[in-house]
Every structure is written in C-alpha cells, then in structure tokens.
Chain A
Amino acid sequence: MRVRTLSAVAALALMCASATFVRAAADIGKPAPDFTLTDHAGKTVKLSDLAGKIVVLEWFNEACPFVKKFYVGNTAMNTTAAKYAEKGVVWLAVNSTNKATTESNAKAAKEWKMERPILDDRSGTVGHLYGATNTPGMYIVDAKGTLVYKGAIDSNSSADSADIAGATNYVAVALDELLAGKPVTKSETKQYGCTVKYAK
C-alpha cells in the first residue's frame, strides 16, 4: 500500500514537472516559436515574415481589469506602442481567450483605438507555445527572431491606472536597449494580471 502511494506521488510529481516544462517552452536567447494567426481585420500574420524587425507580443483580453488598466481612461499601452512603431517596432496583440471572436477583437480595437492587429488565438495554441500565463503578458522578439524578453509590462502588479506613472515599463526599457544595439538586461520578469482564459 505504501509503495503504491509512493508511486502515485512520483507519477504526480512527473506530471507536475512536465506541466512546468510545457509552460517554459519559449526560452530567452532561443528562437521565438513561429506562428501564423489571423488578425481582427482578417489579415494573416506570420511571425517569420517579420524577420529583420523587432516584434512585441502583448497577450490581450479586453475583459481583464489588468488590461483595462492600460486602456480605459488613459492611453498608456497605445502611446507606448505608437512610440516604438515610429522606430520600426511591430507590436501585435494576441488574444488567447477561448471566447474571443473576430468581432469581439474588432470591437475592442475600435473602442480602444488600437492601431495594431489583435491576433485571434482562441484555440490557445500560440499562448501555450509561448507559455503565456497572464494578461497583459509581454514578449519581445529581436530582429534575428530570438526571444529577448518575456514577462510583465511593468513593475507594478496592480489593476489601477494611477500606478502606471510610478512603475518601470520593462518593455520600454528592453526596447530602448535593443534599439541602442545593447543586450536586454532584465530579460525575464514575472507576468502579472488575469489568467489567460484558455479553452479547456
């Protein structure tokens, strides 16, 4: 009986270990997993087609208060995205919410004046490929296609827009370093926010 319990525990531990491994699939310094997704306007976006450009991936869910923090009553995320778009950075929102539709993404893009694609990943395939755990969760792919940042948008894990001003925007810091030809010093932080509402 005791042996059986132990082996059950070992099996459970193995399961947990493999789950952890799957979560950490996209590693810093390794090629960013390629994907092809369709945006809210019906346009196909393939990551490898963007080779030569820095790409930011923003895990998105318009119903999440931690995402709303950067959109409702302020333009924090759009301002950051626009600032770096001027410098040639491609910024893509990715919605892995199982209930998201092309229409709901189009509605969010219009209401929140997002001048960038919201990619439809309602199956959760790309989210799991990157190990995206939270919204907003952020990734940066450099011009060579290497994953150079994964983590939070900034250093304050609240859902309150008032906290944006005093926080360090990790994505902006990393992009400034990349654009200056430097390596990203803070290449990984902890994502915060809502859980990604993956399909069960």
Chain B
Amino acid sequence: MRTRLAVVAAALLALQSAAYANRATMDVVADRTAATPGGKVTLALTFTIEPGWHLYWINPGETGVPPKVKWRLPPGVTAGPLRFPVPHRIEAGELTAYGYENTLTLLTDLTIPADTTGTLTIAGDARWVVCADACVSETQSIALELPVGPGAASRPEQFKAWQLQQPDRTAVEPIAATLDAEGRRGALEVPAKPGRTAVEFFPPVTPFAVYEQPQFRPGQKVEENGIYRLPFRVLPGAPAEYSAVGLVVWRDAAGKTIAEERPFTFKFPSR
C-alpha cells in the first residue's frame, strides 16, 4: 500500500515537473578538483534563466526575494554567505526590482576542516522565486561529491570571469545614515570620490526605511559638499541600530565602471 502510494506520488511529481519545467535551472561546480584539509573550496551556483524571466539580488527591491540555499554539509564543513554579483534594475510592472536576467552566478566558500578524510558529499536545497509578469517558486537539490586530497584548480578561467561580476568588497568602512532628531526622515550620505561619478545606487535591505525612488535613477547630481544624498522616510518601529550592505556604482574618468559594496549603518536617536 505504502509502495503504491509512493509510486503514485512519484508519477504525480513527474507529471508536475513535465507540465511546469523550471524557469530557472541551477548548475553547481567547484573551483578545485579535490578538497584540501584545512583549505577552502569555492562553489559557483550558476542559474540559467528563461528569457524574459528574472531572479533577485540580496535586496530584491519592491518585489521578489533572493535565492537561498539550505546546506546539508559533512561535520565540520561550513559554507560562507552567498556572494551576489552586481545586479541591474528591472522594471516590474509599476515597481522596481534589482536582479538578474538570462544568467546568474552566486559564489560561496566552503571551509574544510584540517582532519577531513575520504570523500565529502556537499548537499543542499536551493529555493528561489523567478518572475516575469507572473512569479513561480522553484526548488532544486544540490549534490556534489568532492574527494579529499591536494587536488588542482578547476575551471580557473571561468571562476575568474565569475569573480569579475562581483562587486569590489575591499572598502569596508561603513557609510553612516544621517537622521533627523525624531528619527522620522533620514538620508544615506555617500561621499563623492575624486575622479569618479556615481552612476547607480542599489540600496541596502532596510525593512524600516522607504527610499524615494527617483533618487536612485542614474545621472543624479552631486548634492552639497560633494555628497550624494539618498533620502528616505522611516517607518514606525525602527531598530536602535542596523547595518546592511548596499552598492554604489562609479564611473571613472576612463569610462570604467566600478561597483563597490559598502556597509551602511543606521543609528536612531533614542525615543
């Protein structure tokens, strides 16, 4: 009986997947042929997205949610946060989203304990919402066998290209948000950089702050004292302190684009 039910369930699942093929599919590869004890392995999660559909950045904007992975890792092995490449602005009906079309590669570092032996099974479940006009929630499992040993670099050129899609994360000093005395309105104040023009801004995830959209359109002018001001309205119940990363995209004199990921910090006056 139980077997028969399982067979029916499997048949139904097969039917369902045939009728609703995923709009985004994911492929996972490692940058090493083997995991070195005490070392790191970078994984690349590459999504192929059906034309016209999109996936989302860590701040999805006014709609959507970023992909996430629930890992099932061997004892001692840990996975770092997913590193998202520089997104672009997507007009979603009357709203603005930040995300990716056609393809998306997320990177993450696995830390391998020094006493590891044998073969590592890196498993997990990825979940994402992919949207065109409509949205679909999709899942896919990850299963990757990694032998333990000295190994060698795998796909170095491809990983180099994926790394180039990532923002510069070397500037770690936070950019502080300024707030009025009541903590009702505020602004992110991004200092201008000599020889550079800020051409695009992707705000941090701030559940308590509503940004004024036109401020994030390209081509905004430098406000007073060489500071790009990005005003927001504060919603009730904001935390006392908050920090999240945002992206500033600069263009230098040679026309080269530099995307810089920076932490933004909010400190609200005590009420």
Contact = CB atoms under 8 A, between A and B. Distances in A.
Q: Which of A17, A65, A188, A197 is most buried by chain B, counting CB atoms within 10 A of its CB?
A: A65
Interface residues of B, number: 28
Contact of A198 (B62, B94, B217, B237): B94
Contacts of B62: 133-134, 195
A65 B138 CA distance: 9
B127 A160 contact: yes
B94 A190 contact: no
A185 B237 contact: yes
Interface residues of A, number: 32
A108 to B, nearest CB: 15
B136 interface: yes
Residue from B65, B127, B207 having most chain A Cβ neighbours under 10 A: B65
A47 interface: no
A133 B65 contact: no
A196 B214 contact: no
Tell me if A's interface is mostly helix, strand, loop or mixed.
Answer: loop
Interface string A41-66: 00000000000000000000001111
A157 interface: yes
Given A65-B129, A158-B65, A159-B65, A186 B236 contact: yes
A16 interface: yes
B135 interface: yes
A158 B95 CA distance: 18
Given A17-B214, A65-B135, A189-B207, A194 B236 contact: no
B236 A134 contact: no
Nearest to A158: B65
B173 interface: no
B63 A134 contact: yes
Contacts of B135: 63-66, 159, 194
Nearest to B134: A63
B63 A193 contact: yes
B148 interface: no
Contact of B93 (A23, A186, A198): A198
A187 interface: yes
Contact of B235 (A16, A20, A66, A188): A188
Contacts of A134: 62-63, 95
Task: Name which of B63, B136, B217 has the most chain A CB atoms within 10 A of its CB.
Answer: B63
Given A134-B62, A190-B207, A195 B127 contact: no
B247 interface: no
Interface string A155-199: 101111000000000000000000000000111111011111110
Contacts of B212: 20
A159 B236 contact: no
A167 B137 CA distance: 19
B210 interface: yes
A122 interface: no
Interface of B: 60, 62-65, 68, 92-95, 127, 129, 131, 133-137, 207, 210, 212-214, 217, 219, 235-237
Nearest 3 A-B pairs (CB), nearest first? A65-B137, A16-B214, A195-B93
